Amino acid sequence: MGCLNKGKVNDYRVNFNSSGKIISIEVTCCGRHIGEIRFKEGASKNCPICGVAHSIKIQHNHFHIRPTMPKTNEIEPVYAEEKAL
Protein backbone atom coordinates (compact mmCIF):
# COMPACT_ATOMS: atom_id res chain seq x y z
CA MET A 1 0.00 0.00 0.00
CA GLY A 2 2.95 2.33 0.54
CA CYS A 3 3.63 2.67 -3.19
CA LEU A 4 0.09 3.75 -4.18
CA ASN A 5 0.81 7.39 -3.43
CA LYS A 6 4.51 7.35 -4.15
CA GLY A 7 6.09 10.76 -3.65
CA LYS A 8 2.96 12.30 -2.11
CA VAL A 9 2.93 13.77 1.39
CA ASN A 10 -0.87 14.29 1.61
CA ASP A 11 -3.29 12.47 -0.65
CA TYR A 12 -6.84 11.06 -0.83
CA ARG A 13 -8.06 7.94 -2.61
CA VAL A 14 -11.80 7.47 -3.25
CA ASN A 15 -13.17 3.89 -3.12
CA PHE A 16 -16.32 2.89 -5.02
CA ASN A 17 -18.57 -0.17 -4.78
CA SER A 18 -19.51 -2.25 -7.84
CA SER A 19 -22.46 0.02 -8.68
CA GLY A 20 -20.24 3.13 -8.74
CA LYS A 21 -21.33 4.61 -5.41
CA ILE A 22 -18.64 6.15 -3.17
CA ILE A 23 -18.14 4.06 -0.03
CA SER A 24 -14.98 5.46 1.58
CA ILE A 25 -11.93 7.69 1.25
CA GLU A 26 -8.42 6.57 2.17
CA VAL A 27 -6.25 9.30 3.68
CA THR A 28 -2.49 9.73 3.39
CA CYS A 29 -0.96 12.43 5.59
CA CYS A 30 2.67 13.15 6.51
CA GLY A 31 3.68 10.61 3.86
CA ARG A 32 1.84 7.72 5.61
CA HIS A 33 -1.49 5.99 5.09
CA ILE A 34 -3.39 6.97 8.26
CA GLY A 35 -6.68 5.19 7.58
CA GLU A 36 -10.05 5.28 5.90
CA ILE A 37 -13.07 7.58 6.30
CA ARG A 38 -16.57 6.26 5.57
CA PHE A 39 -18.34 8.50 3.06
CA LYS A 40 -20.83 10.33 5.28
CA GLU A 41 -21.32 13.94 6.33
CA GLY A 42 -18.95 15.03 9.07
CA ALA A 43 -16.84 11.86 9.08
CA SER A 44 -13.20 12.60 9.89
CA LYS A 45 -9.78 11.09 10.52
CA ASN A 46 -7.01 12.67 12.60
CA CYS A 47 -3.35 12.29 11.69
CA PRO A 48 -1.45 10.83 14.65
CA ILE A 49 1.75 12.61 13.54
CA CYS A 50 0.72 16.23 12.88
CA GLY A 51 -2.79 16.29 14.37
CA VAL A 52 -4.54 17.53 11.20
CA ALA A 53 -8.21 16.52 11.05
CA HIS A 54 -9.33 15.42 7.56
CA SER A 55 -13.14 15.76 7.35
CA ILE A 56 -15.85 15.29 4.74
CA LYS A 57 -18.38 17.98 3.85
CA ILE A 58 -21.08 16.74 1.45
CA GLN A 59 -23.07 19.24 -0.61
CA HIS A 60 -25.91 18.72 -3.08
CA ASN A 61 -23.82 17.58 -6.08
CA HIS A 62 -20.24 17.37 -4.78
CA PHE A 63 -18.14 16.95 -1.64
CA HIS A 64 -15.08 18.50 -0.03
CA ILE A 65 -12.31 16.89 1.96
CA ARG A 66 -11.02 19.54 4.33
CA PRO A 67 -7.77 19.27 6.25
CA THR A 68 -7.97 21.37 9.41
CA MET A 69 -4.88 22.20 11.45
CA PRO A 70 -5.26 21.77 15.21
CA LYS A 71 -5.38 24.96 17.23
CA THR A 72 -2.18 25.50 19.14
CA ASN A 73 -2.29 26.10 22.85
CA GLU A 74 -0.79 29.51 23.27
CA ILE A 75 1.37 29.55 26.36
CA GLU A 76 2.00 32.84 28.06
CA PRO A 77 5.64 33.57 28.85
CA VAL A 78 6.74 32.85 32.39
CA TYR A 79 9.00 35.36 34.06
CA ALA A 80 11.10 34.68 37.14
CA GLU A 81 10.28 36.83 40.14
CA GLU A 82 12.83 39.47 41.00
CA LYS A 83 14.33 39.06 44.47
CA ALA A 84 15.72 41.98 46.45
CA LEU A 85 19.41 41.63 47.22
In-domain check, residue 85:
no
Quick one: DSSP state of residue 10?
S
| Domain range for 46 | 11-68
In-domain check, residue 81:
no
Residues 68, 29: Cα–Cα separation, whole Å: 12
Q: What is the pLDDT of residue 74?
A: 44
Number of domains in the chain: 1
pLDDT tens by residue, 8-61: 578 999 999 999 999 999 999 988 999 999 999 999 999 998 889 999 999 988
Count CB atoms within 10 A of the CB of residue 47: 19
Q: What is the pLDDT of residue 75?
A: 44
Residues 39/24, Cβ–Cβ less than 8 Å: yes
Q: What is the pLDDT of residue 20?
A: 93
In-domain check, residue 1:
no
Residues 49/32, Cβ–Cβ less than 8 Å: yes
